[in-house]
Amino acid sequence: MTHKIRLLYGDRILCTGCMVWRGYTEVKERMPKTYQVVLFQGCKSAHIPRNLMRIFLVFCLLLFTSISKAERNLIVVTLDGLRWQEVFRGADENLIAHQDFVKKPEALKQAFWHQEHKQRRQRLMPFFWQTIVEQGTVIGNRDIGSKMSVANPWYFSYPGYSEIFTGVVDESIDSNRKIPNPQISFLEWLNKQDKFEGKLAAFGSWDVFPYIFNVERSKLYVNAGFDSAGGYPLSAEVKLLNELQKEIPSPWHSVRLDAFTHRFAKDYLLTVKPKVMAIAYGETDDFAHDGAYDQYLHAAKRTDQFIADLWRTIQTTPGYKNNTNVLIVTDHGRGSYPEDWQHHASKRSLAGYMKGLSHFPEGIIGSEHIWFAAIGPDIPARGVVKTKVEVKQSQVAATAMKLLGYQPQTFNPDIAPAIAELFNQEN
Ligand SMILES: [Zn+2]
């Protein structure tokens, strides 16, 4: 009797001779030695496959799919306070030549203006539009009914980043002060899993990230603010970056220039090879607070190019290539008009941390509106999707966990659900 062995489901093989399921490791142990006759332990007779080459290919496929599922990498990229309006409409016609916010309107128009918004947005974020929208899934274009908001009641950074990385809203996180986060991020949870030990890292331009990730408790590797690179073998290039970071002044006391964050993160990726990383760019928010719309646009484009560089690096590096999902999200939106575009705050936050903005008695309307993008081997190429129900920022954590092969509830039973638009066919 000739038995066939077929790949039927996941990592299990069904021997159709005796109708017994086998694990691939069982096959793996026996294939190299006895590939002419495959004898499964417990089977009464030797199984003589009709087509050995076919079985060998099935075995290779099994091993490959099994490895790739278990070993997916993930990078969460955040852009601080970049409005959905710029992402989906390009430069704002009410701001691009505004004398209060732009030093050289003609030069800025030369760089970013086009009558058609579809051309205009490509000029601002070419990688986003030419690659991410083409190959991935994007949410947040309110002009076509694609909606996403923060779920926290404050509309500023610490509560936003906490929501992104913990998957829950903790209303007690109501300031940007350097207070260790009482909530646990999915990075911290993964850090407790054996296979992720030393395989997680976060890089950020803002010096509050060590508190958002609660490094004292989480023991995560976080390089943020004006931290130097260290704790692993440093290349000559990174040693130079460490020196330059001390020598080149940042415009801000608590945020470094994103070029440092990007290059430290990229070098760490190539040298230490983490499985999961967060990279948090900050310039867009700080230039907006400064009222520098020209610098805000240039920062948006630079960040787009950083993400392009990151994606190129991923797709040319063994272990990461075709094996790394990238999620991109922002911590909050901003105002919609020349009067309020610089700011972001909820009405409720005016009574507390944001009381400096109380001349906007309703808070900054619309600053809860955010956007999201994803690209990678498990992300469908759906482009900008309309949402049936508004997506929340708190759903990013469960999305990340699911892409890493975990049930999000095992991390936190109260976690908001994963973003259905990435996983459900009907959407
Ligand atoms: Zn801000």
The full set of domain ranges for the chain reads 5-67, 72-423
> Is residue 207 scored above 70 in pLDDT?
yes
Tokens of 52: 């050995």
Indicate the range of 5-19, 96-110, 150-164, 376-390 predicted with least confidence: 5-19
Ligand 1 centre to CA of 413 (Å) is 30
Ligand 1 centre to CA of 317 (Å) is 34
Ligand 1 centre to CA of 344 (Å) is 6
Mean pLDDT value of segment 200-204? 98
User: Which range, 16-20, 58-62, 186-190, has the best average confidence (pLDDT)?
Assistant: 186-190
Q: Which residues contact 369 (CB under 8 A, 6 or more apart)?
A: 84, 140, 142, 147, 148, 149, 333
Mean pLDDT value of segment 230-252? 97
Ligand 1 centre to CA of 334 (Å) is 8
Largest CA distance in the chain: 86
Ligand 1 centre to CA of 155 (Å) is 9
5 band by pLDDT with thresholds 50, 70 and 90:
low
198 band by pLDDT with thresholds 50, 70 and 90:
confident
User: Within 13 Å, how many C-alpha atoms sit on residue 114's CB side?
Assistant: 14
Q: Which residues contact 186 (CB under 8 A, 6 or more apart)?
A: 165, 166, 167, 397, 400, 401, 411
**Running DSSP on this structure, what letter comes out for residue 173?**
-
Residue 344: exposure state from Cβ atoms within 10 A (0-12, 13-18, ≥19): buried
Mean pLDDT value of segment 249-256? 97
Under DSSP, is residue 36 helix (H, G, I), strand (E, B) or coil?
coil
Ligand 1 centre to CA of 285 (Å) is 5
Residue 305: exposure state from Cβ atoms within 10 A (0-12, 13-18, ≥19): middle
> Is residue 61 scored above 90 in pLDDT?
no
Ligand 1 centre to CA of 367 (Å) is 10
> Is residue 33 scored above 60 in pLDDT?
no
| 330 φ/ψ sector (left φ>0, alpha ψ -120 to 50, else beta) | beta
Q: Which residues contact 257 (CB under 8 A, 6 or more apart)?
A: 205, 248, 250, 251, 283
Mean pLDDT value of segment 332-348? 98
Number of neighbouring beta carbons within 10 Å of residue 345: 26
Ligand 1 centre to CA of 258 (Å) is 15
Of 53, 37, 33, nearest to 45 (Cα)?
37
Q: Cα separation of 336 and 365, whole Å?
A: 8
Ligand 1 centre to CA of 309 (Å) is 25
Ligand 1 centre to CA of 81 (Å) is 6
174 band by pLDDT with thresholds 50, 70 and 90:
very high
Ligand 1 centre to CA of 187 (Å) is 24
Q: Which fold has domain 72-423?
A: Alkaline Phosphatase, subunit A (3.40.720)
Ligand 1 centre to CA of 333 (Å) is 9
Ligand 1 centre to CA of 401 (Å) is 27
Q: What are phi and psi of 25, to 5 degrees?
A: -65, -35
Ligand 1 centre to CA of 342 (Å) is 8
User: Within 13 Å, how many C-alpha atoms sit on residue 411's CB side?
Assistant: 30
Beta bridge partners of 224: 204
Do the beta carbons of residue 379 and residue 72 sit within 8 Å? no
| pLDDT value of residue 197 | 85
Q: Which residues contact 416 (CB under 8 A, 6 or more apart)?
A: 151, 167, 168, 392, 394, 395, 397, 398
Mean pLDDT, the chain, whole residue set: 89
288-323 pLDDT, tens digit per residue, is 999 999 999 999 999 999 999 999 999 999 999 999
Rg (CA), the chain: 25
Ligand 1 centre to CA of 164 (Å) is 16
Tokens of 250: 């940042």
Ligand 1 centre to CA of 288 (Å) is 8
Mean pLDDT value of segment 225-239? 96
| pLDDT value of residue 427 | 40
Mean pLDDT value of segment 147-165? 98
Give residue for tokens 């050995």.
Answer: 52
| pLDDT value of residue 12 | 57
Mean pLDDT value of segment 371-384? 98
Q: What are phi and psi of 87, to 5 degrees?
A: -60, -45
Give residue for tokens 């575009």.
Answer: 341
User: With pLDDT > 90 as the criterion, what percentage of the chain qualifies?
Assistant: 82
Alpha carbon separation from 336 to 140, 342, 386 (Å, rounded) = 15, 9, 21
Ligand 1 centre to CA of 284 (Å) is 9
Ligand 1 centre to CA of 307 (Å) is 21
Q: Cα separation of 351 and 343, whole Å?
A: 16
Residue 376: exposure state from Cβ atoms within 10 A (0-12, 13-18, ≥19): buried
Q: Cα separation of 383 and 136, whole Å?
A: 6
